[in-house]
């Protein structure tokens, strides 16, 4: 895998104000609820051999935001994230593979103290220099996880059958990283 010609090796930091860590989950079997985590830090360790590139991220679970204060309070509580006991979730990559422009980023996702390997279908969106002289890289990634595998098991039965909250959660990432300053 070759790097673009304008790549800067080293530690790139997440530009949280231009990034989104989003999710979608089916509710009551008939609709989808979307939201995001609004407090995250991440680094992209860009290596000369792209296969050696690493990403690590820490996300504050209390920053869960679905746009509904009552639901957000419930999800932050003991039934779901238990943010007092588990204030962070983390992701640490351990493999990056590609097939032309299709990348697969595999790593360890930890939620509520439970770590599972996940693979994200990842798209490199390019590198650009902004009007302020910052070199930026854009990355999109997505995966689907089972929330039950991470101890997020709360649910309620529906009168017509089924459950209130689906097990599958789609994770959608739109990330911007800023290159290290030139020496």
Q: Are strands 64-65 and 20-27 parallel, antiparallel or unpaired?
A: unpaired
Digit-coded pLDDT (tens) for 77-133: 998 999 999 999 999 999 999 877 789 999 999 999 999 999 999 998 888 888 988
Structural domain boundaries of the chain?
10-178
Cα(171)–Cα(59) distance, integer angstroms: 13
Cα(20)–Cα(35) distance, integer angstroms: 10
Digit-coded pLDDT (tens) for 27-43: 877 789 899 999 999 99
Q: With H, G, I as helix, E, B as strand and everything else as coil, classify residue 74.
A: helix
Predicted local distance difference test score (pLDDT) of residue 181: 75
Cα(49)–Cα(133) distance, integer angstroms: 25
Give 9's Cβ-side CA count (13 Å radius): 7
Residue 89, strand partner residues: 59
Digit-coded pLDDT (tens) for 137-183: 999 999 999 999 998 887 677 677 766 778 899 999 999 999 987 64
Q: Which CATH class is domain 10-178?
A: mainly beta
CB burial of residue 104 (10 Å; 0-12, 13-18, 19+): middle
């Amino acid at each position: 895998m070759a790097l673009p010609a304008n790549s800067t090796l080293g530690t790139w930091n997440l530009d949280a104000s231009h990034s989104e860590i989003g999710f979608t989950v089916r509710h009551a079997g008939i609709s989808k609820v979307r939201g995001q985590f609004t407090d995250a830090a991440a680094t992209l360790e860009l290596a000369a051999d792209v296969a050696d590139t690493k990403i690590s991220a820490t996300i504050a679970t209390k920053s869960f935001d679905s746009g509904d204060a009552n639901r957000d309070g419930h999800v932050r509580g003991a039934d779901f994230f238990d943010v007092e006991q588990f204030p962070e979730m983390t992701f640490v990559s351990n493999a990056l593979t590609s097939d032309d422009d299709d990348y697969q980023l595999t790593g360890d996702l930890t939620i509520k103290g439970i770590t599972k390997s996940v693979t994200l279908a990842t798209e490199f969106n390019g590198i650009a220099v902004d009007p302020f002289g910052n070199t930026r890289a854009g990355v999109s990634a997505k995966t689907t996880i089972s929330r039950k595998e991470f101890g997020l098991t709360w649910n309620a039965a529906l009168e017509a059958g089924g459950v209130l909250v689906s097990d599958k959660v789609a994770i959608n990432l739109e990330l911007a990283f800023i290159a290290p300053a030139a020496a």
